[in-house]
Amino acid sequence: MTKTEEKKPRWRWGFNRYIVLALLIVSAIAAGRYAPIQPHFQVPAELLSTEPLFTIPFLNAPVFLSNTLTAILLVDLILFLIAGIVYFSTRSGKLVTRGITGAIEGFLEALYNLTQTNAGKWTKTIFPFFATIMLVVFVANTMELIPGVDSVGLFEQQHIEDPAACNLDTIGHVGTTEIVGVSGATECSAGVVPFVRVVSTDLNFTIALAIISVVSTQIIGVRALGLNYFTKFFNTRTLFNKPFLGAIDFFVGIIELLSEFIKILSFSFRLFGNVLVGTILLFVFGSLLPVFVPSGILIFNFLVGIIQAFVFGLLTMIFMSLATVSHHPEEAGEHH
Amino acid sequence: MEGDIVIAAKMVGAGLATIGALGAGIGIGIVVNGAVQAMGRNPDASGLITTNMFLGIAFSESIGIFCLVIAFLLLFVV
């Protein structure tokens, strides 16, 4: 040990371990008294209101209040709050910002550099799509960590035509939870419908985001290359010079067109599948081993949510920057 | 459409659909193999390699998730 070595303070266990221990004991007692019940899932979002809020006039589509609608409104509120904080804090003129503003600035700068290496000239057009999609999906997937999401809700009985046919008979107790058997009609069940459900588990949200992403890619392609962008799909360039190779090129172009539609499905189902499977796994393990194991699954869901948000945005950015590049060697440079 | 054999067929179908996770596991293994070898050759490029490795893992995992979505669709929706 030389004299110039600093003496670091010895690392000691902190105080937080007592808080974790207390919470573990509380959860073990609670799981003993109030036993977990078997969860019931449905893929479409559960409706919170029996009557529609309003009806879209041209399509005759009623819009109900579902629990993912409350979730997306919460996501919007959180994002507006963050935007307001960042706006007022950058107006104050400080060069080095701290807190939330500093975090958002660093995050956006990393994304901007990543966009710049891929997109080149079109960075200023492409970057807002990348950052917005990533921020929305990131906040939406992080909301599952807030206590109360997916757990606090309305207790309802499934709507059936003849409620008197559902007799709930008690067949036993576990702790203070009554285990009821349902005799009578075969479609009786009762359960808790959460007020807020993670928005990415709703196929409406993911398909809408995927359609926005793919259609914006086409629009940016047309802005970069003019209407010649569509010769990527209907490639009749070499069809008349060299018939055989031209036919293959034409066929490849048609497959490119099909692949644009497949991209919509792929984007939406990637995000939807990851988050829905995580939620189902969380509930199933919560009913089997309620004490400590769901925390591990929650951490895994959190990481998967962040990675899927990044992948959605990154793929959007990559496809957009590919759309601005001309494939054919005869065109030198892009048209405006 | 709720006979016993229909429920049994749903369960068997959902179980068979998760065979696709095999492909996802192999794919992720290949991606991480390439990434770890590249990091061994060039430790300075660690950050870049890690970013692209996560991208490759997300792509490969999404195919496995497609199979899982079909399994859950069979169990809970049909």
Q: What angle do helix axes A293-323 and B46-76 make, rounded to 10 degrees?
A: 110
CA B54, chain centre distance (Å): 14
User: Scanning the structure block, which residue is given the tokens 């009806």?
Assistant: A55
At A26, phi and psi to the nearest 5? -60, -40
In chain A, residues 42-71 whose CB comes closer than 8 Å to chain B: 42-43
pTM reported for the whole predicted model: 0.82
Distance from CA of B55 to the nearest CA of A (A): 7
Q: Which tokens is A233 given?
A: 């799909």
What stretch of H or E contains A156? strand A153-157
* Strands (E) located in B1-78: none
The arrangement of secondary structure in B4-76, i.e. its CATH architecture, is Up-down Bundle (1.20)
| A9-68 tens-digit pLDDT | 777 778 888 888 999 999 899 888 887 777 877 888 888 887 888 888 888 888 888 889
**Cα four-point dihedral sign A242, A248, A252, A253:** positive
Chain A residues in contact with B74 (beta carbon < 8 A): none
The pair of structure tokens assigned to A52 is 């529609």
Minimal CA separation from B18 to chain A, in Å: 13
What pLDDT is recorded for position A300?
92
The model's pLDDT over B17-74, given as tens digits with 9 standing for 90+, comes to: 999 899 999 999 999 999 999 999 999 989 889 888 988 888 888 888 888 888 888 8
Interface check B78 vs A, CB under 8 A:
no
Domain ranges in chain B are 4-76
Rounded to whole angstroms, the Cα distance separating A238 from A64 reads 53
Other C-beta atoms lying within 10 Å of the C-beta of residue A40? 12
The residue ranges of every structural domain in chain A are 40-152+197-323, 157-194
What is residue A268's predicted lDDT score, i.e. its pLDDT? 92
List the beta bridge partners of residue A157. Answer: A190
